[in-house]
Structure 1
Amino acid sequence: MELRQLAVVVAVAEEGGFTAAAQRLRTVQSTVSTVVRALERDLGTPLFHRTTHRVVLTPAGEAFVPAARAALAAAERARAAVAPVGGRVRVGVCPGLLLDLPRVLATLRHVHPGLGVQVRQVAAAKAEDAVAESVVDVALAAVAGDTPGADGFATQVLAEELVLVTAPGGSRSAPADLAGLSLVDFPPGWAVREAVDRAFPCREVGLEVDDLGVAGGIVRAGLAACVLPESAAARFADLTVRRFERPSPWRVAAVHRGDPAVAAFLAQLR
């Protein structure tokens, strides 16, 4: 099984036919048909129902195509990790992800100096639409359940827990407990705020800020505690970080299309 075969099957599935897939791949329809038939022989099962007017996936094809997309995306990331990429990548970021984007972008520029990057804010509810409508090439969003990506690829880039951050000098081994604590939180609509709202709906919010550094300073001064993703909390080495007995997940995914420039960007997020 070759990556070229996977790409052909994905193209047929996404375009709904062999002729349209051939146009997308800049080849002829007979070549696409030959590649698909050869792969179906190797697999021992048909991937498509062929009718006069259109082509639809069989149950085996429904199972195969997502795995093929994932394999193609992994191959692009591996290639991007070692091969310089040029062009441009447009990145959409949902507010409140608290990612260390300066580090990511600096590393990306070092590895791929010829790659231009544009970053813009996108609403979480519009992340998939922004990719589907080519407003951005990749959109980063927090996910509460399954990784999204109906019309393209979706890659989980971060999977960790929410933790409690308190003033320096506290016990790091004791389980986290919000009882009696006043918290500094982030604005409604921010991804981290929505995640903390789901996990701790009855907490007491004493302060609200729109800057991670300010939140860290408030915690350092002993004015409030803060619930943060592990990776964000790790930027404050002097503060006390404790885990909750019942873990609250924090996951960030990238919704994107298959593209070398996107793969180069995603490689720096891992």
Structure 2
Amino acid sequence: MSVVELRQMQVVVAVAETGGFSAAGRRLRLVQSAVSATVRAVERELDVPLFDRTTHRVVPTAAGEAFVAAARAALSAADQVQAAVVAARGVLRGRVTVGVMQGLLGGLPRAIGAMRRAHPGVVVRLRQAPADEVVDAVREGTVDLAVIALTGRRRGLVSVELMRDRMVALVGPDSGLPDAPVTLSQLARHPFVDFVPGWAVRQEVDRAFRAAGVERAGVFETNDMLAAAELVRAGLGVTIVPAALAAGFPDLRTVPIARHAPAWTTGVVHRRVPLVPAAAALLEHLEGWAGSG
């Protein structure tokens, strides 16, 4: 019967995630030869190649992908065991990895700060990426929690709503738009600063314009909130963003949207497994922060 140790699983997973033996060694603080030797030992034990090796890339085989998925689950379970034992002693330790959708950092640092003050032994790691990427990372087990816009049902995952926000028009000082609520038709008469397709903000804005039966001229597309604000500030267009994001640019005007305003709900998603104690504690602080907002 084959027995693969947890440390060997960590090495194989690191190679798969970093795409190379050298990069995996840097992550694990091991020399490349030790990483290569560990992978070869596992392959001999299982009698199957886990990676296709080329000059430039190391890619998991079908067996390698199956191994990595199972290894992630085993490593997560081992972390839960260790964290549970430590928690039983009354001291919360460990680490939690949080995926954050781009543009949604918001009040997350305050929640993390509150948890760190309560549990200084917990290490929090942040990974910022597009929503689909952080959700995939949750499914793979490389991220414990993901803070994203809840734009639809995420199959196989638990969703916890944190807060609902209105979306507003963000306009420059010389836009000519009133401070009173405006319609999407009024906004569509101005050049529009859009976010790139696939972004949650873009999806909600597209949905609202479709519902209103209005077409807009998207003159600019960006994947950066600061860039969008700069374009608006320069008088090159208007955009629509959640009110919480618009508040970060007090020099720009925010205008309410009268009808068909896009919806915006922020939440946390995680897998349908018991959260490690550190992740559960952070989720409590996130819910507390949202409830006080």
Range 162-171 or range 106-115, more displaced:
106-115
Structure-2 residue corresponding to 1:265: 282
TM-score by length of 1: 0.58
Structure-1 residue corresponding to 2:163: 158
Aligned residues, how many? 186
Aligned positions of 1:58-207 closer than 5 A: 85-95=92-102, 97=104, 99=106, 101=108, 105=112, 108-110=115-117, 112-121=119-128, 124-125=131-132, 130-145=137-152, 148=154, 150-151=156-157, 153-168=158-173, 171-176=178-183, 177-201=186-210, 202-207=215-220
Please tell me whether the aligned partners of residues 189 and 216 of structure 2 are also in contact (alpha carbons under 8 angstroms): no
Cα offset for 1:254? 0.8
Q: Report the identity percentage.
A: 38
- 2: CA distance, partners of 1:236 / 1:175: 20
Please tell me whether the aligned partners of residues 97 and 191 of structure 1 are also in contact (alpha carbons under 8 angstroms): no
Query: Which of 243, 257, 261 is the equivalent residue of 2:256?
Result: 243
Please tell me whether the aligned partners of residues 96 and 191 of structure 1 are also in contact (alpha carbons under 8 angstroms): no
Q: Is there any run of 5+ residues in structure 1 with no aligned partner, and where?
A: 1-82
Structure-2 residue corresponding to 1:208: 221
Matched, 1:254 2:261: no
Please tell me whether the aligned partners of residues 181 and 258 of structure 2 are also in contact (alpha carbons under 8 angstroms): no
Cα offset for 1:165? 0.7
Cα offset for 1:161? 1.7
Tell me the secondary structure at the aligned position of residue 200 of structure 1. Answer: helix
Give, as a single letter, the amino acid of the residue that structure 1 aligns with 2:160.
T
C-alpha distance 262-203 of structure 1, shift in aligned 2 (>3 A): farther
Tell me the secondary structure at the aligned position of residue 120 of structure 2. Answer: coil
Cα offset for 1:241? 0.8
Cα offset for 1:180? 0.9
Matched, 1:219 2:236: no
Moved over 6 A (4+): none
Q: Is there any run of 5+ residues in structure 2 with no aligned partner, and where?
A: 1-89
RMSD of aligned C-alpha atoms?
Answer: 3.0
Cα offset for 1:181? 1.0
> 1:76-128 deviations in whole A, cap 9, x for unaligned?
xxxxxxx9853211112234546455555555545543321222246544655
C-alpha distance 117-249 of structure 1, shift in aligned 2 (>3 A): same
Please tell me whether the aligned partners of residues 95 and 191 of structure 1 are also in contact (alpha carbons under 8 angstroms): no
Structure-2 residue corresponding to 1:55: none
Tell me the secondary structure at the aligned position of residue 197 of structure 1. Answer: helix
Give, as a single letter, the amino acid of the residue that structure 2 aligns with 1:141.
I
C-alpha distance 181-156 of structure 1, shift in aligned 2 (>3 A): same
TM-score by length of 2: 0.54
Please tell me whether the aligned partners of residues 166 and 226 of structure 1 are also in contact (alpha carbons under 8 angstroms): yes
C-alpha distance 213-102 of structure 1, shift in aligned 2 (>3 A): farther
> 1:119-166 deviations in whole A, cap 9, x for unaligned?
2246544655543442211122222345x4745x42112211211110
- 2: CA distance, partners of 1:98 / 1:199: 24
C-alpha distance 240-258 of structure 1, shift in aligned 2 (>3 A): same
C-alpha distance 107-239 of structure 1, shift in aligned 2 (>3 A): farther
Tell me the secondary structure at the aligned position of residue 188 of structure 2. Answer: coil
Give, as a single letter, the amino acid of the residue that structure 1 aligns with 2:278.
A
Matched, 1:234 2:247: yes
